[in-house]
Structure 1
Amino acid sequence: MLARQRQELILEEIRRTGAVQVHALVVRLGVSDMTIRRDLDVLAKRGLVEKVYGGATTAVGRANREPGFEGKSVRSLPQKEAISAYAAALIRPGTAIGISAGTTTSTFARFLDTVPELTVVTNSIRVADVLRAGGRPDRTVVLTGGVRTLSDALVGPVAVRALRSLHLDMVFLSVHGMAEGPGFTTPNINESETDRALIEAGRKLVVIADHTKWGVVGISTVAALEEADVLITDDGLPADAVTVLRERVGELVVAQALPEVEELAEAEA
């Protein structure tokens, strides 16, 4: 198979699923690891894909375009793991928390198994599935209901009405982008309204977002930077962004990537 044919097949798969992994392409196309990585380099230089460790995802789109969940979930995974560990440490046993939809919050949900007597309200089907899989009998999981989006978020008037009747100790928010002017944003207007209702239900807002979200602006603002009581991000954040965020958010926490996850990322890169 010619290189151009391989690259067209790779691009078609990424457009269909949102992401590809190098080892899966090696098996499917019957070529070496290095050949696949060269193909991904070519596609990335053309702006058609975005390389991540172990594979590639769809290229970042415009303000109103949201990448698929599977594509987003493999981006910045070591950073998401580190952010999630820090965020989970903020939760006291017996509290009621809200968790928004998103790949970072889906990762975060896996870190909650050690917190006893927890009540979680979420509009994310994936977050709810992770929490239910944990099997803790002392955990209560409340799924808001609503209209399902492509990213498995439940949005719309049903979700908003449910959230406005609740009172939560903390809300953990995942965002599509964050920037000095627009604040925390999303490419989905319906999801933005639901996220705002979730924020209003909580006494404390914790935003969890890796450094790649800085400078990204979605079509709709969810919250101003000043509304975040805590923002947990990672050490890839540019120095100028750190300066802005320290002045604007209540508390900025910069997490170090977990060593074992970072080593795995380097091995697969």
Structure 2
Amino acid sequence: MQHLLPCCALLASQNNLLDTVDEDCACFIAEQYMFLSNVNGHIGLGPIKDSNSRPTENQSLDLSPLSYRAYYRGRCSGCAYELFEMIPPIAAFAEKPAMSSPRHLDPDIIAEFHSLEQQVLLWVVPAPWDGTGPPNGPDADEIAAAIFQQMGLLITLRCALNGPGVPSPPIQDQISCCLSEARRVLKTISPSSYAWGTLLWSLFHIGSCITVPKEQKDYIATFMAMENKLPVCTSMVSVLSKLWDAIGHDGGFYDPYGIKRFLAREGIKPSL
């Protein structure tokens, strides 16, 4: 999170940012801000709190002049920038009040769910950063990581459709299908790939919906097989294991809504 304040300050003055640094550097800063703010500002589902690392009303962060949305190697979001940009609207949808009960049968809620779902499902691999010369797009591991992120969004979106509490049977069936696909895709990513660094948000959110002990162990074993583990990775595994233990005693800690409740109870402020 400490990286957000300098990124925000630099981007707030972006009218002359491109006059100060070259385009590659400016786009790197923009992508850093997008990734870190979206991921760390929306861990779990529940009330969204303002952060002092976010821009004020007087700080315009229209990033349209910056071409960070094209693919380039080494970016925080891999090739999944469009998927990471979907995190805030899904978090806002989770907070939208339903006019009828149960939430997942409310017509307005259903309509917004389908709109968001379509945006997630229509994601395509982005074009390379530089259109000249030989193609230099994302490799198979980065694409698999993006698909895993896509599964994470679809699962989180279904939890948001249901609202807090145990999902209705039809929604639970859909979540289970997404979980199976996510676990399959995760196993296809090479342990040596740097794409693992883009997965912490989705690993946490998907993991919060895994309740079968055998599947939990397999999930952790797959994740911990990566070769370039950072302290934040092992810390997240520890938190996820504690969350699973809490779910075993109280189903109210299940899913991304349960993540936020659990973190508040434990006084944990993760930074992904």
Name which structure has the greater RCO, CA cutoff 8 Å, separation 6+. Answer: 2
Q: Normalized against structure 2, the TM-score is what? A: 0.26
Q: Normalized against structure 1, the TM-score is what? A: 0.26
Q: Greater strand percent: which structure?
A: 1
